[in-house]
Every structure is written in structure tokens, then in C-alpha cells.
């Protein structure tokens, strides 16, 4: 799949750097890993009709952010509008946007059913004709993943996280308007939404591919023992053909910001083991650990002391929360690795895990959490370009490196200092 910008005439660009393919990883029963060190190649088709404009040359399998431009295979006809619930200030922008999409662009508008249950919308007779044209859905009940060409969010960063959770596979392009409290992930202002939406529909926009984490939670069944199939070798090691997850319950999530493992309501330290590609790398003792994407590096991870990383960097952040060891600093690992987190055998209490702040659940002995970079990124539409938008967000939302300027010396003092230096040099 073509990526990046070329460097002009010269020898052919080498293909992506691949991990060597051993017979096994570290022991029997472990499959060889063929992922790139830079993570799985992301899917660059978003929903039924959108994709990244292809570029014919590659540079180490990493796309140049400046070359990430949105294009449409066919004109988008359906749009999902996500509005922050229980926010009266968003009612008027929501009405204006939906009317514009339906009447001016002849688009099919999908909204969540509970959005239309707002009493203010139910009692608005003027909005009735527009409201009757909506297509509605319910979260966790209706699958709309193959019916949406474009997503528009009205609210804060939480609306973008919610949009991500609705699509466990390919995600349509997301245009996020800043109508919430922070707005780090929502770069668009609503004042001139008509022209901005028109440009996006025409395919005139840059996108940043925000990588997501594919998280698999495997839990031991509780209450009764499950018979283990015959697959034990003479030395007591599981045979290669044995499926070690037989009888267990497994569920998978796509996570945009972070996976948080913490000690929950317990007063004891959390005690979890962290494996990287099958190797135990450390045991986390403290309040917990954050595993985040570059997008999530500016959220909870930044508050816990991690570095802020641009979304185009292929990486996974591992950040301890109030660790018991002062030398336990946050680390960054390649996007191509697989992390596995389990309770330590000597752990005094269980742990709790949440995914982008949702689906919180308890983790007990025998349960495991496997985390890799997903091949389904979230294509977030930019106001200008991925680099400019990110630094603008750092400055406007996080006030990054904001301080009063240092006063300069008056010119006469500068001259006096220079003359004094010359006299000292000549003496």
C-alpha cells in the first residue's frame, strides 16, 4: 500500500522493515509474528466511500503527514450526527446543521434515538419536518457501520471518543466541531460550518489517521472448573496445538485514547504483570498503569507524566499511575508489539480496567488483557493539516509552554555591557 512522499530520482525505496519470522516467539504454542515494527498497516478506506488519496512512493512504511488528503470514491450521501446529550446550548447548532445537510445537500442523516428524546426537540414544531426525516439507531442494538459515509460531532472530545466506540471496524471520516469544554480533538469552529462542511463533502480536506488499540479481554469462567483438553507434554508445558482459551470468555474493543488498569476501590497497591511479545518486562505496583495511543498521550497519560506524542508517530505508551518505585518512568514501545497484562500471582486484590473511560470491569486472577495497535485508525478531518492542528491544540487547549516573555535589556545597558567586555578583554 503506497505511503508518504518521494524524495525525487534515485534508487528504489526499500520496502517496510519487517520483524524476522522465527519458528516461534519464546516458547511452545506461540505463533510467529509478521507485523511491521511500525505497527500493522492501517486500513486507508473509511466507511463505504472515503479513502486517503494514494501517493506512489514510500518511505519506511510511514506516511508523511502532509500527504494525508481525503478523497471520495463516490459522493457521500449519509452522515451520522453525534450531539452531546443533555446540553441545551447545542440544540440550535444541531438544528441548523441537520437542516443544512438535508435541505442543501440532500443527505440522509442518522442520529441516536435518545438525542431526539430531548423534550426541547419534541416540543419544537418548526423542527418537526426535519425530525421526521431522521434515521435513528440505538447503541449496542443497531449496526450502522456499513451505512455511514461521514460522521459529524457536535460537542467536546468525548463525542469523538463516542464516535470511535460505535465502529469496531473501519471508521468513516470524522469532522468534529468544538462546542464542548476542552476541544483538543475537535478543531472546527461552528460559525462558518456551511463552507467547511461543503469543502469536506467535495473532498477538499486533510486528515490525520489516529491509531486505535485493539484490546482483547479474556476471562476465566467463574463458579465452575472447565475441563482442560488433553494437550500436556511430558515436561508439563502446554502443547503447541492446545487452544489455551478454550472455555474462557473473550471480548474485544477498539480504543482511541487509552486502556486504564487501576486498583479500583481497594486500599492495596495494584500488582499487575506486563508482558511484551511474551516476555515479562515489569510488574506494576502502584495505583495502576495506562496503555495509550499517541492521541491518548495528551489525555490521562499526560497528567500522569507521559510525553505528548503526535498522532502520526507509530507507538504505544505505557505510563504508570503513581508507581511505588520512583525509577519507574513512562516508556514508549513500537506500535508493532503485543502487550499482555495480567494480575500478578501475589496480588492482594483484583484490578479494574476501562476503555476510553467506558465499559469498566473487574479483572481477576487468570484473566488477561492483550493490547495491540489496530489496523483500523480513526480518520479525523483537519482544519489545516495534521501538524499545524496539533500544535494549535497544544497552545490553545493545554497552554503548552505559555509564559510571560523575558524582558530585554535597554539599548544603553547592552552597549555598556559590550564596552565593559571589551575593556576586560584588553586588560
- Which residues are known to be catalytic? 157
In order, the DSSP letters of 175-221 are EEEE-SS--SS--B-STTHHHHHHHHHTT--BEEEE--EEEEEEEPP
Q: How far is Cα 167 from Cα 146, in angstroms, rounded to an integer? A: 9
Q: How far is Cα 219 from Cα 367, in angstroms, rounded to an integer? A: 4
**Is residue 353 helix, strand or coil?**
strand
Q: How far is Cα 150 from Cα 340, in angstroms, rounded to an integer? A: 34
Alpha-carbon separation of residue 103 from 45, 98, 107, 130 (angstroms): 28, 8, 8, 9
Q: How far is Cα 225 from Cα 243, in angstroms, rounded to an integer? A: 16
227, burial (CB in 10 Å: exposed 0-12, middle 13-18, buried 19+): exposed
CB 175 within 8 A of CB 151: yes
- E-state strands within 234-347: 249-255, 258-262, 270-276, 279-286, 288-292, 315-321, 331-334, 339-343
Q: How far is Cα 256 from Cα 167, in angstroms, rounded to an integer? A: 11
Give the distance between the most distant pair of CA atoms in the chain. 92
Sign of the CA dihedral 20, 21, 22, 28?
Answer: positive
- E-state strands within 10-94: 45-46, 50-52, 70-72, 78-83
What residues contact residue 287 under an 8 Å CB cut-off, 6+ apart? Answer: 262, 263, 269, 270, 321, 322
Q: How far is Cα 98 from Cα 116, in angstroms, rounded to an integer? A: 12
96 is written with which cell numbers? 441548523
* DSSP H or E stretch at residue 152: strand 150-155
In 3D, which of 160, 188, 193, 189 has the Cα closest to residue 378? Answer: 160
Amino acid at each position: 500500500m503506497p505511503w508518504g512522499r518521494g524524495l525525487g530520482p534515485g534508487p528504489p525505496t526499500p520496502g517496510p522493515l519487517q520483524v524476522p519470522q522465527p519458528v516461534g516467539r519464546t516458547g511452545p504454542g506461540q505463533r510467529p509474528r509478521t507485523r511491521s515494527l511500525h505497527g500493522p498497516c492501517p486500513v486507508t478506506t473509511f466507511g463505504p466511500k472515503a479513502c486517503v488519496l494514494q501517493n506512489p512512493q514510500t518511505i519506511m512504511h510511514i506516511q508523511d503527514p502532509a500527504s494525508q488528503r481525503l478523497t471520495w470514491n463516490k459522493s457521500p450521501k449519509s452522515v451520522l450526527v453525534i450531539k452531546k446529550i443533555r446540553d441545551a446550548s447545542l440544540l440550535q447548532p444541531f438544528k441548523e446543521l441537520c437542516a443544512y445537510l438535508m435541505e442543501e445537500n440532500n443527505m440522509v442523516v442518522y442520529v441516536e434515538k435518545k438525542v431526539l428524546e430531548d423534550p426541547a426537540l419534541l416540543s419544537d414544531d418548526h423542527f418537526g419536518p426535519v425530525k421526521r426525516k431522521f434515521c435513528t439507531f440505538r447503541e449496542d442494538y443497531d449496526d450502522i457501520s456499513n451505512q455511514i459515509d461521514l460522521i459529524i460531532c457536535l460537542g467536546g472530545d468525548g463525542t469523538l471518543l463516542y464516535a470511535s466506540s460505535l465502529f469496531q471496524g473501519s471508521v468513516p471520516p470524522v469532522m468534529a466541531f468544538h462546542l464542548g469544554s476542552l476541544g483538543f480533538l475537535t478543531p472546527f469552529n461552528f460559525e462558518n460550518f456551511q463552507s467547511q462542511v461543503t469543502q469536506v463533502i467535495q473532498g477538499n480536506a486533510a486528515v490525520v489517521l489516529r491509531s486505535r488499540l485493539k484490546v482483547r479481554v479474556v476471562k476465566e469462567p467463574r463458579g465452575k472448573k472447565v475441563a482442560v483438553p488433553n494437550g500436556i507434554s511430558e515436561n508439563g508445558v502446554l502443547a503447541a496445538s492446545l487452544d489455551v482459551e478454550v472455555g474462557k470468555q473473550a471480548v474485544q474493543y477498539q480504543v482511541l485514547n487509552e486502556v486504564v488498569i487501576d486498583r479500583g476501590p481497594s486500599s492495596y497497591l495494584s500488582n499487575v504483570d506486563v508482558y511484551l511479545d511474551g516476555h515479562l518486562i515489569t510488574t506494576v505496583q502502584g495505583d495502576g498503569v495506562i496503555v495509550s495511543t499517541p492521541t491518548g498521550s495528551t489525555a490521562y497519560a499526560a497528567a500522569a507524566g507521559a510525553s505528548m506524542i503526535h498522532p502520526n508517530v507509530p507507538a504505544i505508551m505505557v505510563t504508570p499511575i503513581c508507581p511505588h518505585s520512583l525509577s519507574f518512568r513512562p516508556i514508549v514501545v513500537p506500535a508493532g508489539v503485543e502487550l499482555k497484562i495480567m494480575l500478578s500471582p501475589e496480588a492482594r486484590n483484583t484490578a479494574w480496567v476501562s476503555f476510553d473511560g467506558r465499559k469498566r470491569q473487574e479483572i481477576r486472577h487468570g484473566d488477561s488483557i492483550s493490547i495491540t495497535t489496530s489496523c483500523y485508525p480513526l480518520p479525523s478531518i483537519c482544519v489545516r493539516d495534521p501538524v499545524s492542528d496539533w500544535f494549535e491544540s497544544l497552545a490553545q487547549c493545554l497552554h503548552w509552554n505559555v509564559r510571560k516573555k523575558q524582558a530585554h535589556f535597554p539599548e544603553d545597558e547592552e552597549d555598556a555591557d559590550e564596552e565593559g567586555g571589551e575593556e576586560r578583554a584588553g586588560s
